[in-house]
Amino acid sequence: MAVYGHIGFVGLMRTKIKEDIKKWQEVFAKDGYSQHWVHTDKAGYFYAMHNHPIDTAYVVLTGSMGVEVDGEMRVFNAGERFDAPKHVFHSAKIGPKGCTFLIGVRV
């Protein structure tokens, strides 16, 4: 019986994530981010300092991600958004439970 409860909970979580993705895709579109996709990284994955030639926006769907800009680190958790304007250098480290996030780009 506990197994079925767990499967039901996972199903609810997936439904919630799908709802979050749809909501954030609408927000991104209104903000001019015409392309968006979902990406998942394993715990501890590290993106070295880099920048992008276009504006990017991220919303954490599950887990967490630490982002460093100008020597300052901030951790973003599920439901939080951060923007990386074009040419701004930043690095990111995925939290201990991994991270699934929605990425939006202005093209």
Q: Give residue-wise pLDDT tens across range 62-76.
A: 999 999 999 999 999
Distance CA 38, CA 103 (A): 6
Higher pLDDT pick, 7 / 103 = 103
The pLDDT value recorded for residue 21 is: 93
The pLDDT value recorded for residue 74 is: 97
Residues in the chain, overall count = 107
Q: Is the confidence at residue 34, as pLDDT, over 60?
A: yes
Question: Across the chain, what does the average pLDDT equal?
Answer: 88
Distance CA 38, CA 36 (A): 7
The pLDDT value recorded for residue 55 is: 96
